[in-house]
Structure 1
Amino acid sequence: MNRDWVHNKNRLSNQYKAGIESFMEVASHHMNEKNETPCPCMKCQNMNRHSLPIVKAHLWRYGMSVVYHTWIYHGEQFGIQRQDSPPTTTQEAPRLDDYTFNILNDAFPRDINIDEDLVEEDDMLGGTEDVGDDRTNMHWVETDKYEKLVAEAERELFPGCNASVLTAMVQFMHAKVLNHWSNKSFDTMLEILSDISPKPHNIPPSFYAANKMLKDLGLGHEKIDACVYDCALFYKEHEGKDKCPVCDEPRYKPSTSKKKSKVPQKVLRYIPLKPRLQRLFMSNHTAGHMRWHKDKKVDEEGIMRHPADSIAWKEFDKMYPQFAEDPRNIRLGLATDGFNPFGNMSTSYSMWPVMVVPYNLPPWMCMKEQYSILSLLIPGPKAPGKELDVYLRPLIDELKELWEQGVQTYDKLSNTIFNMRAAVIWTINDFPAYGNLSCWSTKGYKACPVCLEDTTSTKLRNKICYMGHRRYLKKNHPWRKDCQNFDGSIEMRDPPREFSGEDILLQLNQLMQRKVGKHPDNLDRKRKRTPMELNWTNKSIFFELEYWSKLKIRHNLDVMHIEKNICDNIVGTLLNIEGETKDTPNARLDLKDMNIRTNLHLDKDENGKIKKYLAEYTLEPADRRAFCEFLKFIKFPDGYAANISRNVKDGKISGLKTHDCHVLLQRILPVGIRPYLRKEVCAPLVELSSFFQQICAKTLNVVDLDRLEVDIVLILCKLEKIFPPAFFDVMVHLAYHLPREAKLGGPVGYRWMYPIERMLGKLKGYVRNRARPEGSIIEGYIANEALTFCSMYLRNVETVFSRPERNDDASETNAKLSVFIQNARPFNGYKMLLLSEREMEPIYWYILDNCEEIESFRNEHRQILESESPFNIEQRLRQSFPQWFKKRVKSLYTQESTLI
């Protein structure tokens, strides 16, 4: 039948009336047992079933869906051309280009091919019995947004233009984000484009108008008011209240004007998680990757390349086999950290975003910014601290729903609907945030959140140190009874025991009820903990998740900041940098208090002046300058590290970033300190560098981790014999726990803060209005979220997904020898140079060893190459080298010299 009536905007016309009657005749033959049929109006989109009179009324009121081309819910087969109608014309379907059609189809899936076999299989995996009815429960964007975008996609930018308004604005906005254009420069570009384009045109007048159009491709966010003292959220049962249910503080700022709208004192921005996770399965570009961990991951005994190889992941699968049965169920990592959005430390402001990372993705996608989801934006200016759980409430409620009930999700890969569930398997955070999330105070005598109550600590004159690593040695190890070289005592204690989730729950049951919030009248804020409470501040909200107490690892120690602190301790002490060295006068007095290392005790000279002897771990002034000169002249490969020489000045190193410390500790220190320190001091530092190199590897071997678990104890004990007790803060102690956590969680690249810190930097760049930093960040994130989704579909345009490498050496070459066939891109112009005979010798050697074209010559002289020593082979080879070959190599090399 002719379906031009679908696009007739005059619903009172005879054509539209006849079209409805013809459709109702078809629909009457496809009713369920309740005499209902899917309603194809623009509002229902076949997601609801109604009786025939209601369907007819909807078609009169809302119109027929313009994207319902094949009536698969009313008897037609998907993908088969209708024989009783003419070929599709431009009037019969929206005039969308392939690019726009793919974006809208993946962002707003409508026509789903329901295969009965797949439906039955989906039911067995926990799906629904009636897919058509349950689609009403899916959290898809409103239909009116889709219709608006279709309208923009049908409008030409200007007469004769091949691009629609939607297509052009997506590309313009993508160029703005990629090249960091300001809003003003974007407005100027639109004004120029408007002036030079043919009239009439549909170019948006400003960035605001273009951004408003594209925001419909995003998934939105919610605002939840909060108490100014962080006591509670005006959420669910407290949503309609005007005062805080805990401290009775007003919800809104005081205002004398009655006409103005009420302004809340504090607002939490909440970005729903479910639609973001659903979109990962709706897009052609990500749906297949979301089951990589099950379908394409290569399993090798004892080798870990992905969190799916870890003990924690596999144990979770054993505990919850129904969850593990469907590879589309998502494992999540939750990360949070505070940051100053203004980039100015003189302005005190601490904002806390909470992000979620899906671990189903393959390694090259897993921790990328494009696939990480901002879920909460906790407002400043003060950090939430112990009240972080108050702000996590909406996210925890959603996570409980995703675990207990799941959400109906369309899978683009299989073209079916399934019940998607999700679980948080651990958190990623630095050490202060570790304390906020776990609710274990990371300060004081029991600061270690792994050892808990068994933490070994000692009070010094002005700080607490965490030594006692001899307790991890074997019982018969001689160092256990070595008093003088350690802390002056014999160590015969057993290692701290491992605490299970059940043990922790028993400890949490001993906590006294604490009133939340920072209200000045809240006396619980300054209440001292009882001995029974240990270092627990309260019971974490994460324990509301049914599986949380059963996880093998709940919170990850951040290797990035541990490396940073250990590197600062070592460098500051070696170079005796004021304010950073651990070899202070108080540290020398600590040695005297312990009655150890008498040669380092402070002494007085004849004039009564305190004399501090130079320790063996401190460089002489001349050695210090030489080491700094060494650092100044180090050259790194492009993109490998920052220019550390900028941090070296006057024999001191200052201002090192976390990645600078990462490179310095693992690569530079083992080489740079060898000439200046005795072997007994240098060797443990080199071993410590090797330890971090291996623990940070992309691929981990369980056998190597078992060995590292033993080695780190010996390394820390050796350091205890060298450095003063003040050197051993809690971050040095935490290095002991890293091998165990690597065995439980897999490679540290998926569990440290580097990718999270990069995302925080991106969020900081969204701040445009310094008076409203949270609003700026959330608006920028939503807009960038839509653009990131659209950029997956861009072709012949540089995007974050198709950006070329920083050093792209792709170039054509006319090389004739296989050894010179590699591509190379010269930095500048080149000059022809005549090489000396001595300079040509390494070239002969390289060609002789690597060139395939002279295999026969290499076989002929193999006896010479294998029998002679390296010192005599050059002379023998000169005699045996045919002159014709020597000339040929030289001539060929001259032709290829530009490539070198």
Structure 2
Amino acid sequence: MDKSWMPMAKTPDGRLSRPYIEGVNTFINFARSVLDLSGNIPCPCIHCVNCYQQSLQIVRIHLCHRGIMQSYVNCYNHGEPRVLNENIHDNEMSDGDHMGGIDALVGDRIRGEPRNATEDEEVRHFDKLEEDAKRELYPGCTDYNILKFVIEMLNVKVMTNLSNKGLDMMLELLTKVLPKDNLVPRSTYEAKKILRDLGMSYEHIDACKNDCALFWKENENLDKCPVCETPRYKDTRAQGKKIPHKVLRYFPLTPRLRRLYMSGQRAKDMRWYINKRVDDGIMRHPADSEEWKEFDLQHPDFALEPRNVRLGLATDGFNPFGNMNNNYSMWPVILIPYNLPPWLVMKEPYFMLSLLIPGPHQPGNEIDTYLKPLVDELKELWEEGVEIYDAYSKEHFQMRATLLWTIHDYPGFGNVSGWRTKGYHSCYTCNDEPYSEALESKIGFINHRAYLPMEHRWRHSQLHNGLSEKRKRSLELQVGKIQEQLDRMPNIILGKHPSTKKRQLIGEPNWSKVSILYKLPYWKNKKLKHNIDVMHVEKNISESIYGTLLGIEGRNKDTDKARIDLQNMNFRHTLHLKQRSDGSYDKPRAFFSLSPNERDGFYDFLKSIKYPDGYAANISRY
């Protein structure tokens, strides 16, 4: 296939020229041989980089609007046959701006030898890119390699709000100042291209300022929100590039999973749970859980391929500016591949940032709007999968992926699952039969001893509400019951626009929406869909216990209202408030609390312990 038209994609005029358009049409016709069941092919534009299946018309638009990636010399993904032992010389490519990834940056300055195309060329090419990215920035430099330098420079650009032109000028100056033969990128474009070819790129998706919809796929060319009709851009009359109100950063999942199998050692580790895990009834890994085993029974075709990926999803809000007085909340969505062994699975290098949901306010129920790109990709990875090269077994295989469960704190659980975490029905496990009652200024859940084993001693203790607990409840909520409730849910319109809020309804008993995760074919049959982050539970309960024992202001749960609740329940009379003759109340000391002298002695003990930096300062605040 003739590829002489590809270099014309560098400039807008070139992409509008007749030879380039004719070349695109020839390429589209040539690629019809790899159409999938939906009539789509991999899109080789500089944004999709063969990671997204698009229709032929969309691919034609992308290639004419964005241009084809210049590193796509051998069109294997579009029907061109692989040629073994073919010598491909770097000097046969076009100039540095047209070459892909690190090739664009260093070219013959680093390598100087021909690259052989073998059966595992894809892996060898990636290894070469990774090796080049770790080269020293200039001869004798020990502090920075190319990749570290690029990441820190782009971080400086973001933190200082530096323009692309400003960063280009800075890079040009560094190129002149540093020793000769340095590998500093010549422009912002080259710096970003290094990350993109290593699978670290992301996609900008404009969003409605009211979180109603994304300007993506069928809404890509709209200038107003299809739900609330709010303008897409801040200033619609401005000349030049328009600035959207909100931008979602989407990091495609498939390239990151592909990267795991490009390393022979990591590809071997991805089979650890099936090859080396000891199944002795002790839970050391998610593969030991009942949910994992139940999923294998429900989907045996998925379980037959041990290289298929099982994922967990975690999300929470944080303040990116580090100033807690600044009311801003940004929500990252992280994916964790559970195939890895336990000493790797929770390590930071294997956390995959999938979405970066913008602020300034938390998305709430509208998080479903931002999860659409990820859910669509997860659905595609489940139904069709993607062909990936396994560097350990040195073969291609069709990899599929599934989402096992999600992990959040309790408010985040309410946002993702659709179950409201406020009110008398806020306990998800109790569902429509809650063990809740009104206390002074709050709703209390004090009858959950019904979930304990019948022989548990707390069932017969009268320290909780003065009564023994004889009821029995199961912690397992029936999947069919949940599905029946969701089937009765009214149509919920997402969005924070006032006109949208008026049309929203709440389903019974406490549902606020049907989660977008139910679009995944396997989701509704899962028993365990959501997990509460143990860190938040331990932290909050521990703070409450120690705050009550030590009488810490703001963390003490032994309040006057709690004593009134005991009086209303008519038990633990020694702790009731005693009214004085002048109308005030005397609060009897509880047996579990420390006196002021005992508390001061406890503080002195804590301060005498040698802690890592920062912990002693936290203790002194109390």
Please tell me the residue identity of whatever aligns with 2:416: L
Return the alpha-carbon distance in structure 1 between the equivalents of residues 504 and 391 of structure 2: 54
Q: CA deviation at 1:578?
A: 2.2
Return the alpha-carbon distance in structure 2 between the equivalents of residues 95 and 206 of structure 1: 14
Return the alpha-carbon distance in structure 1 between the equivalents of residues 182 and 189 of structure 2: 11
Q: Match for residue 498 of structure 2?
A: 520
Q: Match for residue 389 of structure 2?
A: 410
Per-residue CA deviations over 1:279-299 (Å, capped at 9, x if unaligned) read 111223422222121222233
2:489 matched to 1:511? yes
Q: Match for residue 53 of structure 2?
A: none
- Could you say if the C-alpha distance between residues 634 and 352 of structure 1 is closer, same or farther in structure 2, counting changes exceeding 3 Å? same
Q: Which of the residues 477, 486, 498 maps onto 1:499?
A: 477
- Could you say if the C-alpha distance between residues 612 and 404 of structure 1 is closer, same or farther in structure 2, counting changes exceeding 3 Å? same
2:166 matched to 1:218? no
Q: Match for residue 11 of structure 2?
A: none
Please tell me the residue identity of whatever aligns with 1:43: V
Q: Match for residue 735 of structure 1?
A: none
TM-score (norm 2): 0.74
Q: Which of the residues 609, 618, 622 maps onto 1:647?
A: 618
Return the alpha-carbon distance in structure 2 between the equivalents of residues 385 and 544 of structure 1: 19
Q: Match for residue 572 of structure 2?
A: 597
Please tell me the residue identity of whatever aligns with 2:492: R
Please tell me the residue identity of whatever aligns with 2:617: R
Q: Match for residue 43 of structure 1?
A: 73
- Could you say if the C-alpha distance between residues 207 and 628 of structure 1 is closer, same or farther in structure 2, counting changes exceeding 3 Å? farther
Per-residue CA deviations over 1:51-94 (Å, capped at 9, x if unaligned) read 9xxx9xxxxxxx9843899xxxxxxxxxxxxxxxxxxxxxxx97
After TM superposition, the structure 1 = structure 2 runs for residues 468-617 of structure 1, keeping only pairs within 5 Å, are 468-472=447-451, 485-489=463-467, 491-496=469-474, 498-524=476-502, 529=506, 533-617=508-592
Would you say the 8 A contact 2:548–2:557 is kept in 1?
Answer: yes
Would you say the 8 A contact 1:191–1:205 is kept in 2?
Answer: no
Q: CA deviation at 1:388?
A: 0.8
Q: Match for residue 437 of structure 1?
A: 416
After TM superposition, the structure 1 = structure 2 runs for residues 204-353 of structure 1, keeping only pairs within 5 Å, are 204=184, 208=188, 211-212=191-192, 214-219=194-199, 220-257=201-238, 259-299=239-279, 301-353=280-332
Q: Match for residue 801 of structure 1?
A: none
Structure 2: runs of 5+ lacking an equivalent: 1-32, 34-70, 93-106, 161-166
Please tell me the residue identity of whatever aligns with 2:378: L
Q: CA deviation at 1:229?
A: 0.8
- Could you say if the C-alpha distance between residues 213 and 48 of structure 1 is closer, same or farther in structure 2, counting changes exceeding 3 Å? closer
SS of equivalent residue, structure 1 residue 286? helix
Please tell me the residue identity of whatever aligns with 2:619: V
Return the alpha-carbon distance in structure 2 between the equivalents of residues 181 and 267 of structure 1: 18
Q: CA deviation at 1:645?
A: 3.2
SS of equivalent residue, structure 1 residue 398? helix
Per-residue CA deviations over 1:124-143 (Å, capped at 9, x if unaligned) read xxxxxxxxxxxxxxxx89xx
Q: CA deviation at 1:213?
A: 5.6
- Could you say if the C-alpha distance between residues 168 and 97 of structure 1 is closer, same or farther in structure 2, counting changes exceeding 3 Å? farther
Return the alpha-carbon distance in structure 2 between the equivalents of residues 181 and 403 of structure 1: 35
Per-residue CA deviations over 1:188-223 (Å, capped at 9, x if unaligned) read 99968845735xx45537784773463343332211
Q: Which of the residues 101, 110, 118 maps onto 1:111?
A: 118
Q: Match for residue 881 of structure 1?
A: none
- Could you say if the C-alpha distance between residues 355 and 168 of structure 1 is closer, same or farther in structure 2, counting changes exceeding 3 Å? same
Would you say the 8 A contact 2:129–2:198 is kept in 1?
Answer: no
Return the alpha-carbon distance in structure 1 between the equivalents of residues 79 and 193 of structure 2: 31
Q: Match for residue 624 of structure 1?
A: 599
Return the alpha-carbon distance in structure 1 between the equivalents of residues 264 and 457 of structure 2: 63
Would you say the 8 A contact 1:445–1:458 is kept in 2?
Answer: yes
Per-residue CA deviations over 1:796-818 (Å, capped at 9, x if unaligned) read xxxxxxxxxxxxxxxxxxxxxxx
Return the alpha-carbon distance in structure 1 between the equivalents of residues 472 and 282 of structure 2: 31
Percent identical pairs in the alignment equals: 45
Please tell me the residue identity of whatever aligns with 2:414: G
Would you say the 8 A contact 1:226–1:232 is kept in 2?
Answer: yes
Per-residue CA deviations over 1:477-528 (Å, capped at 9, x if unaligned) read 8976776x4424564332256213222111111222222111112244775x
- Could you say if the C-alpha distance between residues 65 and 574 of structure 1 is closer, same or farther in structure 2, counting changes exceeding 3 Å? same
SS of equivalent residue, structure 2 residue 266? coil
SS of equivalent residue, structure 1 residue 627? helix
2:377 matched to 1:398? yes
- Higher mean C-alpha displacement, 350-359 vs 276-285: 276-285
Would you say the 8 A contact 1:66–1:94 is kept in 2?
Answer: no
SS of equivalent residue, structure 1 residue 607? coil
Please tell me the residue identity of whatever aligns with 2:230: E
Task: State the superposition RMSD in angstroms.
Answer: 4.1
Return the alpha-carbon distance in structure 1 between the equivalents of residues 152 and 476 of structure 2: 48
SS of equivalent residue, structure 1 residue 433? helix
- Could you say if the C-alpha distance between residues 178 and 495 of structure 1 is closer, same or farther in structure 2, counting changes exceeding 3 Å? same
Please tell me the residue identity of whatever aligns with 1:592: Q
Structure 1: runs of 5+ lacking an equivalent: 1-33, 35-40, 56-62, 70-92, 115-139, 655-900
Would you say the 8 A contact 2:212–2:225 is kept in 1?
Answer: yes
Return the alpha-carbon distance in structure 2 between the equivalents of residues 582 and 192 of structure 1: 59
Per-residue CA deviations over 1:838-885 (Å, capped at 9, x if unaligned) read xxxxxxxxxxxxxxxxxxxxxxxxxxxxxxxxxxxxxxxxxxxxxxxx
Please tell me the residue identity of whatever aligns with 1:562: V
Q: Match for residue 87 of structure 1?
A: none
Please tell me the residue identity of whatever aligns with 1:394: P
Would you say the 8 A contact 1:455–1:496 is kept in 2?
Answer: no
TM-score (norm 1): 0.53
2:148 matched to 1:174? yes
Please tell me the residue identity of whatever aligns with 1:66: H
Q: CA deviation at 1:271?
A: 1.2
SS of equivalent residue, structure 1 residue 515? coil
Q: CA deviation at 1:563?
A: 0.7
After TM superposition, the structure 1 = structure 2 runs for residues 48-67 of structure 1, keeping only pairs within 5 Å, are 49=79, 65-66=88-89
Return the alpha-carbon distance in structure 2 between the equivalents of residues 635 and 589 of structure 1: 41
- Could you say if the C-alpha distance between residues 203 and 412 of structure 1 is closer, same or farther in structure 2, counting changes exceeding 3 Å? closer
- Higher mean C-alpha displacement, 284-293 vs 619-628: 284-293
Would you say the 8 A contact 1:514–1:524 is kept in 2?
Answer: no
Q: Match for residue 14 of structure 2?
A: none
- Could you say if the C-alpha distance between residues 267 and 581 of structure 1 is closer, same or farther in structure 2, counting changes exceeding 3 Å? same
Please tell me the residue identity of whatever aligns with 1:410: Y
SS of equivalent residue, structure 2 residue 498? coil
SS of equivalent residue, structure 2 residue 402? strand
Would you say the 8 A contact 1:592–1:598 is kept in 2?
Answer: yes
SS of equivalent residue, structure 1 residue 211? helix
Return the alpha-carbon distance in structure 1 between the equivalents of residues 325 and 452 of structure 2: 47
Q: Match for residue 742 of structure 1?
A: none
Per-residue CA deviations over 1:346-398 (Å, capped at 9, x if unaligned) read 11111111111111111222111111111111111111101111111111011
Q: Match for residue 72 of structure 1?
A: none
Return the alpha-carbon distance in structure 2 between the equivalents of residues 192 and 386 of structure 1: 47
2:433 matched to 1:454? yes
- Could you say if the C-alpha distance between residues 513 and 209 of structure 1 is closer, same or farther in structure 2, counting changes exceeding 3 Å? closer
| RCO higher in structure (CA 8 A, sep ≥6) | 1
SS of equivalent residue, structure 2 residue 267? coil
SS of equivalent residue, structure 1 residue 454? coil
Please tell me the residue identity of whatever aligns with 1:358: P
Q: Which of the residues 629, 634, 648 maps onto 2:609?
A: 634
Return the alpha-carbon distance in structure 1 between the equivalents of residues 602 and 419 of structure 2: 41
SS of equivalent residue, structure 1 residue 512? coil
